[in-house]
Amino acid sequence: MSNYFLSHLKELEAEAIYVIREVIAQFERPAILFSGGKDSIVVTHLARKAFFPAKIPMPLIHIDTGHNFPETIAFRNNLVEELGVQLIVGSVQESINEGRAVEESGRNASRNALQTVTLLEAIESNKIDAALGGARRDEEKARAKERFFSHRDDYGQWDPKNQRPELWNLFNGKKSHGEHFRVFPISNWTEMDIWQYILTENIAIPSLYFAHNREVIYRDNTWLPVSEFITVREEETVIKKQIRFRTLGDITITGGIESDADTLDKIVMEVAASRHTERGNRADDKRSETSMEDRKKQGYF
């Protein structure tokens, strides 16, 4: 009988599929928050597995800051077509144009925090009652206490001190009108698990994750890609470097690392040997020690 066990990746996969199926069973209008990053790609892949041979029975929502890597958008469009699912795009630019969000100013201006406004609008206008996300508990200390089923009040806010206890695999998705849930099927995965899984399953990911040559500047201890959305300062010089991105976000805040990992195998090796966290290159997390926690309370991803 002792041969009946699953590898850690298969067990994590089974857990995530179970959670995704609970969402379709407990909610009326769920959706997948799709950023084009590896974690949301893995969640989408798991959703495909959860409902096979049927299509994924929910739309993907992309919150578009307008400051995108073109590669991410192309990847997103291809995937949506392949899956045959609906894509909902929430535009930060529109939120700004219509005065519901105010663009930051100053040297370190970014649209990262504005995504919360657009995300909550998209959830409300599409009457989404459960938004599946790719957040992992190993990413950041505020996320270490996140539930699989995370309740949001009718302002979309998270109350970390008043979370529902979550026991065994019994998930409570009960809510009042206007409230919604964020659901995190890959809560228990680490960065290493994600990469090993992408490798084992041979999941397509944007080319940005692989080492490539790109024009960058060195800012805040990271290699920031040069794009039309950032202003190169006088003291900075643009150089061409071989880099890759460990996480993907808004092009203005996502720094790359020097790397020659141009295959999945090499990426897994590099992650295994790395002594730095993957969010270390994200300017949004560096604003203060509790910046993730503060953003999450307001309704961020």
Partner 1 sequence: MELLRFTTAGSVDDGKSTLIGRLLYDSKSIFEEQIEAVKNSSKKKGLEHVDLSLLTDGLKDEREQGITIDVAYRYFATPKRKFIIADTPGHIQYTRNMVTGASTANLALILIDARKGVVEQTSRHSFIASLLQIPHVIVCVNKMDLVDYSEEQFDKVVEQYKEFAAKLNVKDIRFVPISALHGDNVVNRSENMPWYQGETLLHTLETIHIGNDNNLIDCRFPVQTVIRPHNNEYHDYRGYAGRVAGGVFKIGDKVLVLPSGFSSTIKQIDTYDGPLQEAYPPMSVTIVLDDDIDISRGDMIVRENNQPQVSQEIDVMLCWLNVRGPVPNGKYILRHTTNEVRTMIKEVLYKVDINTLHRIEDDKVIRMNEISRVRLRTTKPLLADSYTRNRQTGSLILVDESTNETVAAGMIID
Q: From residue 17 to residue 56, what is the string marking binding to partner 1 with x (rule CB under 8 A)? A: xx--xx-xx----------------------xxxxxxxx-
Applying CB under 8 A, among 28, 105, 167, 234 the residue interacting with partner 1 is 167
Nearest distance from residue 73's CB to partner 1, in Å? 27
Toward partner 1, which CB reaches closer, 17 or 113?
17
Q: Does 200 bind partner 1 (CB under 8 A)?
A: no
d(CA 237, CA 256): 16
Toward partner 1, which CB reaches closer, 60 or 142?
142
Applying CB under 8 A, among 106, 161, 177, 228 the residue interacting with partner 1 is 161
Nearest distance from residue 175's CB to partner 1, in Å? 6
Using CB under 8 A as the binding rule, the residues of this chain from 111 to 150 that contact partner 1 are 137-138, 141-142, 144-145
Pick the piece of the chain touching partner 1 (CB under 8 A) from 88-96, 113-121, 256-264, 274-282: 274-282
Give the chain as a DSSP string.
-TT----HHHHHHHHHHHHHHHHHHH-SSEEEE--SSHHHHHHHHHHHHHHTTSPPSS-EEEEE-S---HHHHHHHHHHHHHHT--EEEEEHHHHHHTTSS----STT--STTTHHHHHHHHHHHTT-SEEE----TTS-GGGGG--SEEEE-TT----GGGPPP-BTTB------TT-EEEE-TTTT--HHHHHHHHHHHT----GGGS-EEEEEEEETTEEEEP-TTSPPPTT---EEEEEE-SS---TTTB-BEE----SHHHHHHHHHH--S-GGGGBGGGSS-TTHHHHHHHHT--
Q: How many CB atoms lie within 10 A of CB 292?
A: 22
Pick the piece of the chain touching partner 1 (CB under 8 A) from 120-128, 222-230, 233-241, 276-284: 276-284
Toward partner 1, which CB reaches closer, 51 or 210?
51
Toward partner 1, which CB reaches closer, 181 or 245?
181
Q: Does 174 bind partner 1 (CB under 8 A)?
A: yes
Applying CB under 8 A, among 154, 160, 232, 233 the residue interacting with partner 1 is 160
Residues near partner 1, by CB under 8 A: 1-2, 4-15, 17-18, 21-22, 24-25, 48-55, 137-138, 141-142, 144-145, 160-161, 163-170, 172, 174-176, 187-188, 190, 192-193, 274-277, 280, 290, 293
